[in-house]
Copies of this chain bind each other. A is one copy, B any other.
Amino acid sequence: MFCIRACSGLVGCRTATRVRSLHSLPGITVAQIDEEVAKLLQLKAQLGGDDGKHQFVLKTAKGTRDYNPKQMAIREKVFNTIIGCFKRHGAETIDTPVFELKETLTGKYGEDSKLIYDLKDQGGELLSLRYDLTVPFARYLAMNKITNIKRYHIAKVYRRDNPAMTRGRYREFYQCDFDIAGQYDAMIPDAECLKIVHEILSELDLGDFRIKVNDRRILDGMFAVCGVPDDKFRTICSTVDKLDKLPWEEVKKEMVNEKGLSEEAADQIGEYVSMQGGMDLAERLLQDQKMSQSKQACAGLSDIKLLFSYLQLFQVTDKVVFDLSLARGLDYYTGIIYEAVLTQAGVAPVTTDAQNGAPSEESVSVGSVAGGGRYDGLVGMFDPKGRKVPCVGVSIGIERVFSIMEQKAEASAEKVRTTEVQVMVASAQKNLLEEKLKLITELWNAGIKAEVMYKKNPKLLSQLQHCEESGIPLVAILGEQELKDGVVKLRVVATREEVQLIHNTHTILDSCLT
């Protein structure tokens, strides 16, 4: 059925051409060659030797993956923690389609628009897969004229990025967003978003973390007072954004050499972006001769002060740092921005060079696990009359969380269970299928999670093995003697301890539940 003789030759040929052409490229890396070789070997394996039978390629699309039952069990646990927190804070949830009209996404992602997946024009509307959950959320609010809502949305988004799957980066990946939309008093919803990040990262038990906070207005004010020309704010901002990966000297070089900023302006920025602190830093900067000249910066700094006062009441200031180097790329932020990073050693570090004036970090940062900020203008872009709905939100970097949890599960001695079965209904002799099906029906009808093997006469050993493999704690063993006596033997798989119960659903049920 799938013998595509011409095609597999073609694929092989295409790959071979690519490899040949690589020889002539100066920028070829070892990793690229390894990748090509791996592809060729995979192809060879799929061709299945010399029998001439060519099979189609059995794989998932590039940058995507299946989740196996073990991964799903971990995913479910993580989701339960996160959704539990969102619900504790009174959030509703919504869902939107996986694709949107292409024009809905147009003009929202700047240069990254090239990463959007388009659907083929098969007649009808031009559609694209969603790139994030924020733009569909804004579209939803505008379309339904909703002016306030507190909602979470957990769903997959799509980016035609170069996947780095070993580092948990995929083309299809989950986003996990919590947003508060509405005209409210300053910093109250913003503070709650940070409280939520604090709760989730604490509960997930991923190790120590820090939440960096800054404000778009402080950044813009800082650029202004440091002498950055207005039209260079965005580009200088995205250079500052690299400070979590590059030392200051590199960042400065980019500002001066590539972006044409004066050395003096760059040095002034360098001074500010090395600053970290709490409410005290905001107070000091409000008195700062230069910074206080910017109205914008002052508004931002006052809000940071107010934010910290609420964070104190929320008991989360232990992890929150006001950090002037935090820049976050996205265009649509208008106020407060934040990003949470894990600081525990043990996972591959992202920042290794904490010298050269880069923010000094007591422990090694392992990259962002949450981020967000205020975006008061986005919904207005969708509203026919431009009516604004102020929004603040946070996105949990759930794929990175999955990766960490999977690593932890691998390292741990404890086995991840992929089912929740409480009891296996087994038999010691042959010809007891009927009796087993009767018993399991009683258990199912009583709400007990139970399994029976789909064989007429399975061996007792293989039934017990199945329990061990899937971590089923109890096994109810039926035998001829037990049936005569009207009892069921219930065995604890781990200890091999056995009790005889009168064959009665309630006695078995009680044992399963305790």
> Is A289's CB within 8 Å of the partner chain B?
no
Are A451 and B89 touching (Cβ within 8 A)?
A: yes
CB-contact partner of A88 in B121, B139, B449, under 8 A: B449
> Is A151's CB within 8 Å of the partner chain B?
yes
**One of A36-44, A263-271, A417-425, A486-494 at the interface:** A417-425
Excluding A119-B120, A314-B441, A315-B445, 11 further A-B contacts by CB distance (< 8 Å) are A58-B384, A61-B97, A64-B99, A72-B95, A75-B95, A88-B448, A90-B470, A97-B172, A117-B122, A184-B455, A199-B444
Are B4 and A56 touching (Cβ within 8 A)?
A: no
Q: How many copies does the complex hold?
A: 2
> Is A195's CB within 8 Å of the partner chain B?
yes
Tell me, rounded to whole Å, the shortest Cβ–Cβ distance linking A168 to chain B.
16
Are B1 and A143 touching (Cβ within 8 A)?
A: no
Indicate whether A90 sits within 8 Å of B421 (C-beta atoms), given known contacts A58-B139, A65-B97, A127-B61.
yes
Residue of B nearest to A148 (CB): B454
Q: Can you list 25 A-B contacts (CB < 8 A)? A: A46-B384, A53-B384, A56-B104, A57-B103, A58-B142, A58-B143, A59-B143, A61-B97, A62-B125, A64-B99, A67-B95, A69-B151, A87-B419, A88-B450, A90-B421, A90-B449, A92-B419, A98-B158, A98-B172, A118-B120, A120-B120, A185-B456, A188-B455, A195-B441, A313-B441
> Is A140's CB within 8 Å of the partner chain B?
yes
> Is A459's CB within 8 Å of the partner chain B?
no
Q: What CA separation (Å) do A92 and B76 show in the bound complex?
A: 12
Looking at A76, A120, A124, the one whose CB has the most chain B CB atoms below 10 A away is A120
B contact residues around A448 at 8 Å (CB): 88
A198-232 CB contacts (< 8 Å) to partner B: 199
B contact residues around A60 at 8 Å (CB): 96-97, 100-101, 143
Indicate whether A94 sits within 8 Å of B121 (C-beta atoms), given known contacts A180-B454, A310-B437, A314-B441.
no
> Is A107's CB within 8 Å of the partner chain B?
yes
B contact residues around A88 at 8 Å (CB): 444, 447-450
Q: What CA separation (Å) do A454 and B148 show in the bound complex?
A: 11
- Interface bracket on A: 35 or more
Tell me, rounded to whole Å, the shortest Cβ–Cβ distance linking A476 to chain B.
14
B contact residues around A101 at 8 Å (CB): 57, 59-61
B contact residues around A91 at 8 Å (CB): 419
> Is A381's CB within 8 Å of the partner chain B?
yes
Are B384 and A55 touching (Cβ within 8 A)?
A: yes
Q: What CA separation (Å) do A72 and B153 show in the bound complex?
A: 11
Are B313 and A434 touching (Cβ within 8 A)?
A: yes
Interface string of A268-290 (1 = CB under 8 A from B): 00000000000000000000000
Are A96 and B456 touching (Cβ within 8 A)?
A: no
Q: What CA separation (Å) do A149 and B68 show in the bound complex?
A: 11
Residue of B nearest to A120 (CB): B118
A452-490 CB contacts (< 8 Å) to partner B: 454-456, 470
> Is A438's CB within 8 Å of the partner chain B?
yes
Q: What CA separation (Å) do A103 and B6 show in the bound complex?
A: 14
Are B107 and A1 touching (Cβ within 8 A)?
A: yes
Are A438 and B313 touching (Cβ within 8 A)?
A: yes
> Is A329's CB within 8 Å of the partner chain B?
no
Looking at A97, A121, A185, the one whose CB has the most chain B CB atoms below 10 A away is A97
CB-contact partner of A87 in B143, B385, B449, under 8 A: B449
> Is A189's CB within 8 Å of the partner chain B?
yes
Q: What CA separation (Å) do A43 and B160 show in the bound complex?
A: 33
Are A441 and B315 touching (Cβ within 8 A)?
A: yes
Tell me, rounded to whole Å, the shortest Cβ–Cβ distance linking A203 to chain B.
10
Indicate whether A185 sits within 8 Å of B444 (C-beta atoms), given known contacts A61-B101, A69-B151, A87-B420.
no
